[in-house]
Each structure stands twice: as C-alpha cells, then as structure tokens.
Amino acid sequence: MFSYRLRFLTLVLPFVYLLVACGGRTVTRSSAEKLLVNLPSGVLDEGDVKVVSVSQISAGTAIAETTLRAAFRMEKVQGEWVIRDVRLGNHQWESVENLMAALDRIKVDKAHQVLETISAALLQYRQKSGHLPAFDDYVDLSDALYPNYMTEAYRLDPWRQPLRAFREGPDTVKLVSSGPDEKPDTHDDIVLVRNYAP
C-alpha cells in the first residue's frame, strides 16, 4: 500500500502540465499560471498553483513544472493510515482508487498506441528492406527502427518500464508492455503479436 500511495503522490505533488504556446510566443511562468488557473470547470484558483519552471520543448510546446495545492482525506484501516480521497485546488473530492484506475486505463490505451506505432515501423522496415531487422532485445529493435521508421525512440511503456520484443518466428514479432502492475509476464501484460510475411 505504501508504494501505491507513493506512486500517487509522485503523480500529483510535482504536477507537470503540458502547455501549448499561444501565437508563437514563449510561455512564461506567469502565462503558464494563467492558463492553469483558467482550466475548464474552474478546478484551480489563483494561489492553488505555482509554476516552478517552464521548459520550452519546441516552438509550439512547453512543459510547466508546478507545485499544486491538494488535500488528501485519510482513514485508519487496521491500525494503518491510508489515503482514500484527494481534492485538487477547489475541485470535489475524488477517490484515489478511482483516479488511479482511470489513469491506468489511459495508460493502457497509450501502450496499445505505442505498440501499434512500433509495429507500423516494423512493417515499413520489412517493405523497404525485404526482411525484418535482426535484434536480440527491444533496445536493438528500437535502434534499428529509429529515426528512419519511427519519429520517437520508444524505450519505456507508460508505466516507465522497459518495452520488450521477441522474435516468434522468421516473420513474426511479439511486442510487450508490462502493463499496470509494472511486472513482466503477468496477466495484465499488453501484447501485440504480428506476422510480417510478404
């Protein structure tokens, strides 16, 4: 339970928010705070969020690292305190369990998208070269596909665990994310097996 709570606090307390720069201007701390305070549904008020730093990633994208006012409702269960609910800014209380489940569903979708992207890159490689790349592990495979066939060198899944790749036959590759439990070879692994035979 401790690691579960720690994972949640790591997510919420150093809140990182992706910002799109307006009109080509550089995003400043002040403009980032205004964007965050004006989020839909009035989740945050002035004073609820403080931008610590802004990193300009490209002409149209920046990341604002912030501190965020949050409240945690705790309950004693069998002599141990556990976090039950969280409230961000002036928003309503939300169940930590439901919030984590919703985030995991989003990450599952993202993992599927990443595996599909890698698979599409494998298909392009196969079509151009007439064979699949030789690889011993996923890092080898990623190195063979990036940057000519993928725009990003995917290494980790959405849970920050290493992606895995296996040759299942001469023309078949299995791509694997460890899934929400972050452990390999368990029931919630996200697996894509595809045959690239001509």
CA angle (119 as vertex; 132, 107 as ends), nearest 5: 150
| Pair 47, 126 in one domain | no
Residue 17 is predicted with a pLDDT of 39
Q: What phi and psi values does residue 150 have, to the nearest 5 degrees?
A: -130, 140
- CB neighbours of 196 closer than 8 A, spacing ≥ 6? 122, 123, 126, 132, 171, 172, 173
Quick check: is 155 in a domain? Answer: yes
Distance between alpha carbon 3 and the CA centroid of its chain, in Å?
Answer: 18
Report pLDDT digits (tens) over 129-185: 999 999 999 999 999 999 999 999 999 999 999 999 999 999 999 999 999 999 999
CB 151 within 8 Å of CB 132: no
Quick check: is 55 in a domain? Answer: yes
- CA-wise closest residue to 5 among 73, 65, 51: 73
Q: What are the helix (H) ranges across the chain?
A: 2-12, 29-37, 96-129, 138-145
Q: Which of 31, 65, 92 is the last residue of a domain?
A: 92
Quick check: is 100 in a domain? Answer: no
| pTM of the entire predicted model | 0.70
- CA–CA distance, 29 with 19 (Å, rounded to integer): 11
The boundaries of the domain holding residue 152 are: 108-195
Residues 104-111: what's their mean pLDDT? Answer: 95
| Pair 77, 24 in one domain | yes
Report how many domains make up the chain.
2
Question: What is the distance between the terminal CA atoms of the chain, rounded to a whole angstrom?
Answer: 49
CATH of the domain at 185: 3.30.700.10
| Pair 81, 113 in one domain | no
Report pLDDT digits (tens) over 21-74: 344 467 888 888 888 888 766 777 888 888 899 888 777 788 889 888 889 999
- CA–CA distance, 96 with 91 (Å, rounded to integer): 14
